[in-house]
Amino acid sequence: MSQETIVHILSIEREATKIYDDTQRQAARLIEQAKDAAAAMREQTLAQAHQEAGRILAKGRRAAEAERARIIAQAEAEAQRMETLSTRHFDQAVRFVLDQVVGHE
């Protein structure tokens, strides 16, 4: 083998080593970029999930408040009806007692 061939082979090996090292560095950069992108995507997904949870919670609170208001209005109407009935029965009871007292004397 001639000296020129050996020099050429060594040059090719150095170039191959350089290419391999460059490829390793590029692969490491790509892995770091992928990790950073994944972390950013995770954070964004978590933020969106928190926002959606907040919207769902607010919607549930509005629905609960509407139901609470409906129940209170219904209870107030029922209380008014009962008060009206009790007043009517009270008047009837007073008349009955008065009739009994007046009738016994």
CA-to-CA dists, residue 98 to 9, 31, 47, 80, angstroms: 130, 98, 75, 27
Give the residue numbers spanning the domain of 58. Answer: 1-78
Q: 3-state DSSP call for residue 59? A: helix
Domain count, the chain: 1
- Is residue 27 assigned to a domain? yes
Question: Using CA atoms, how far apart are residues 37 and 45, in angstroms rounded to an integer?
Answer: 12
Residue 15 neighbours by CB distance under 10 Å: 10
Task: Establish if 38 belongs to a structural domain.
Answer: yes
Query: Which amino acid, residue 56?
Result: I
| Greatest pairwise CA separation for the chain in angstroms | 151
Whether 67 is in a domain gets the answer yes
Residue 39 domain-assigned? yes
Per-residue pLDDT at 65: 97
pLDDT digits (tens, 9 = 90+) for 10-50: 999 999 999 999 999 999 999 999 999 999 999 999 999 99
Q: Is residue 90 one of the residues assigned to a domain?
A: no
Does residue 6 lie within any of the structural domains? yes
- Rounded CA-CA distance 42/45 in Å is 5
Q: What's the pTM?
A: 0.55
Amino acid identity of residue 29, one-letter, is R
pLDDT digits (tens, 9 = 90+) for 55-104: 999 999 999 999 999 999 999 999 999 998 888 778 788 888 888 888 76
- Phi (first) and psi of residue 8, to 5 degrees: -65, -45
Residue 7 lies in a domain: yes
In a domain, 85, yes or no: no
Q: Provide the residue type at 6 as one letter.
A: I
Helices (H), ranges, 1-105: 3-104
